[in-house]
């Protein structure tokens, strides 16, 4: 068991060293000046676009594939939202005689306000 842990650790260390060397090499390539038409100097943004982004996209795509395999599809074709009802109908549990529910276009009776009368 101890040998496996060491081997795994060595593999991880080798991977880390390899990535570090790769990045250092890319950095050195970026500093080099090549004046031929076939090769051009790589800027940090070009390094990111051409090398690092595809590597990250590949790992993200693998993670997304694993995620999609574990998700359960939910179909809402026969389900109606809880607030679905014909227009102008009161919510469930509130009838037309209820004082809580007033339709939007209902006529609201207001008390008539008369001017004060003069006592003569």
Domain boundaries along the sequence of the chain: 2-70
Q: How confident is the model at residue 4 (pLDDT cuts 50, 70, 90)?
A: very low
pLDDT at 15: 72
pLDDT in tens, 43-80: 777 777 777 777 777 778 777 777 766 665 555 555 55
What's the token pair of residue 34?
A: 């090549």
Residue 86 pLDDT level (bands cut at 50, 70, 90): low
**Residue 91: which residues within 8 A CB-CB, separation 6 or more?**
83, 85, 101
- Is the separation of the CB atoms in 33 and 41 below 8 Å? yes
Confidence (pTM): 0.22
Note the pLDDT tens digit of each residue in 13-38.
677 777 777 777 766 666 655 555 55
Which residue in this structure is represented by tokens 């496996």?
4
User: What local confidence, expressed as pLDDT, does residue 2 receive?
Assistant: 45
Q: Could you tell me the CA-to-CA distances from 86 to 29, 49, 76, 102 in Å, in that order?
A: 68, 54, 20, 15
- Report pLDDT for 20: 77
Distance CA 44, CA 30 (A): 7
pLDDT of residue 99: 57
Q: Return d(Cα 27, Cα 106) in angstroms, integer.
A: 74
What's the pLDDT at 90?
60
């Amino acid at each position: 068991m101890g040998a496996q842990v060491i081997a795994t650790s060595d593999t991880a260390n080798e991977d880390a060293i390899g990535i570090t060397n790769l990045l250092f090499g890319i950095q050195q390539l970026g500093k080099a000046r090549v004046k031929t038409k076939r090769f051009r100097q790589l800027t940090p943004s070009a390094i990111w676009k051409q090398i690092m982004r595809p590597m990250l996209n590949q790992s993200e795509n693998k993670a997304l594939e694993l995620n999609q395999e574990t998700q359960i599809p939910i179909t809402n074709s026969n389900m109606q939202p809880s607030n679905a009802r014909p227009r102008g109908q009161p919510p469930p549990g509130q009838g037309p005689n209820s004082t809580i529910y007033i339709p939007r276009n209902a006529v609201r009776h207001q008390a008539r306000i008369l001017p004060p009368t003069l006592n003569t």
